[in-house]
Amino acid sequence: MKKFDLGILGGGLAGLSLAYFLESYRKICILEKNEVPGGLLRSFKKNEINYDIGPHIIFSKNKNQ
């Protein structure tokens, strides 16, 4: 059995960010219920078109949003 210093529930934006900033201090395990990490910050491609899932507005350069 592997031992970790910290367990993070959820591999969304907050969980992945926390793991990134703490990785040099601890051994971290991220538990995610979905097959891929990212939570609502994901994209998928269908018929050569990329679709965003969730609040991708954080990447917007539009200052009114």
Host domain of residue 15: 6-59
Q: What is the domain count for the chain?
A: 1
Considering the domain boundaries, does residue 48 fall inside one? yes
Say if 64 falls within a structural domain.
no
65: three-class secondary structure by DSSP: coil
Residue 17 lies in a domain: yes
Q: Does 20 map to a domain?
A: yes
The answer to whether the pTM exceeds 0.75 is no
Q: What is the pLDDT of residue 63?
A: 64
Q: Is residue 10 part of a domain?
A: yes
In a domain, 15, yes or no: yes
Question: What are the tens digits of pLDDT across the range 26-64?
Answer: 899 999 999 888 887 778 889 999 887 776 555 566 666
Concatenating the DSSP letter of every residue in 1-54 gives: ----SEEEE--SHHHHHHHHHHTTTS-EEEE-SSSSS-TT-EEEEETTEEEEES
Residue 65 scores a pLDDT above 80: no
Residue 1 counted as domain residue: no
